[in-house]
A = this chain, B = another copy of it.
């Protein structure tokens, strides 16, 4: 039996590894095609590598091609799959260095082609010095550009989401003057405006020129290199432009092979990560990672969330099932976290606007507290906001902005949401307490109390 994997990053290689764990090379041949030079690396680490927080590129590589080969997985880097024939159960792959094409038959196929950065028209073919940050290759290109002579001095980052904010900080660390352009009224629109404001202040505190409600209209170039970003208001000089506009599922190839896409543009799968076609799941065709859409467990809606942790889980589930085991991926609840300088920002569940959009009536409660007992050295302020369904009081969402030891508290709230806990029940939770770790009422408990009051008040 043969398994072909399309895309050799987190999702694809997790699937390959799990299948291999359950079936030896005699039972299952595994061939993985990867367009780039690398396998299984931490794309989330790229901004930290560029910023110099992580010194060594190779530190980001979890497992290289040779390691996979040693466990009997035939990894072919620099090979791009250019066609999938579902009828003949065969893929065609092009050797990006040699130029030849090969065909490979399969019994199982894992489609794990990842995502591609959103690239607006104005950013296409418009001079050198414009970068997305999606692959390790992209990261290397940014590094090379920053090291060129004369050195870039001014960076413009377009998009104030996770990657945009992380890259803006990285550019500051590299000594550049940084402007961050964001279309929305605030950066980090993955949290509610009241929380996003705090993030905006922190970014400005780094010396970053944050311009919100700003629409990019085009680029200016000089000598074939980008020289400025033109907005509706202004022309912002730039020696490097970084795009942080999000990603879309890389599903063109799947669509060409006749697999219908979901409303988000991602592949639809069932709980076991089998690709779903017009008539139920397609036998032997699996998908995982940034190219799939999944379900938000609170809204019940399809969502596309490109995140390494989902990719790993989905790949693992696919691989276990291919290997004859049983595992499922039930969906997500929208947990995410990031760090801007020493400000930690985390969210889970639904934001206010997402809750409203899903049809919930809700109440909110925000509390300010500290990471440790107020009298204990290093106690630092944090704000926790909870969103609870009206009447039932079921927790729908949570957001945290704080300093050290703040953001990881979101996991406790994520598990409360996962279990559909009413905020009133949460006030009784037996959470850990000692002065170095929390006030006697942990901020999560204080927030739950306040949210309970809000639920009662709303009736």
Q: Which residues of A contact B (CB under 8 A)?
A: 10, 42, 44-45, 48, 53-54, 56, 59-60, 62, 162, 307-310, 312-313, 327-330, 332-339, 344, 346, 348, 373-377, 405, 407-412, 414-416, 418-419, 421, 427-438, 440-442, 444-445
Contact = CB atoms under 8 A, between A and B. Distances in A.
A429 B418 contact: yes
Contact of A415 (B327, B329, B407, B419): B419
A406 to B, nearest CB: 10
A328 B428 contact: yes
B441 A309 contact: yes
Contact of A414 (B339, B432, B440): B432
Contacts of A412: 411-412, 414-415
Contact of A313 (B335, B427, B434): B427
19 contacts: A42-B435, A42-B440, A44-B433, A48-B376, A59-B374, A309-B430, A309-B433, A330-B428, A332-B430, A333-B430, A335-B431, A336-B432, A336-B434, A337-B437, A346-B432, A405-B408, A408-B438, A414-B431, A415-B416
Counted per complex, copies of this chain come to 2
A243 to B, nearest CB: 20
A178 to B, nearest CB: 20
A432 B54 contact: no
Contacts of A421: 415, 419
A440 B339 contact: no
A375 B43 CA distance: 12
A349 to B, nearest CB: 9
A432 B48 contact: no
Contacts of A440: 10, 42, 44, 62, 308-309, 312
Nearest to A452: B327
A377 to B, nearest CB: 6
A64 to B, nearest CB: 14
A14 to B, nearest CB: 10
B339 A436 contact: yes
Contact of A434 (B44, B53, B312, B409): B44
Given A308-B433, A414-B431, A433-B308, A45 B339 contact: no
B48 A309 contact: no
Nearest to A305: B430
A441 B312 contact: yes
Contact of A339 (B44, B48, B308, B434): B434
A427 B418 CA distance: 12
Contacts of A373: 42, 44-45
A327 B426 CA distance: 12
A429 B414 contact: yes
Nearest to A57: B375
B444 A411 contact: yes
Which of A10, A330, A337, A408 neighbours the largest number of chain B CB atoms within 10 Å of its CB? A408
A411 B409 contact: yes
Nearest to A271: B428
B407 A408 contact: no
A437 B419 contact: no
A432 B44 CA distance: 13
A127 B150 CA distance: 79
Most buried by B among A44, A162, A330, A412: A412
Most buried by B among A62, A335, A412, A434: A434
A429 B415 contact: yes
Nearest to A337: B432
A27 B282 CA distance: 70
Given A54-B375, A309-B433, A335-B430, 19 more contacts: A10-B440, A42-B373, A45-B435, A54-B376, A54-B377, A59-B374, A310-B430, A328-B428, A332-B430, A337-B432, A338-B434, A408-B432, A410-B432, A411-B431, A411-B432, A415-B419, A415-B421, A415-B429, A418-B430
Contact of A428 (B307, B329, B374): B329
Contact of A430 (B53, B414, B433, B436): B414
A351 to B, nearest CB: 15
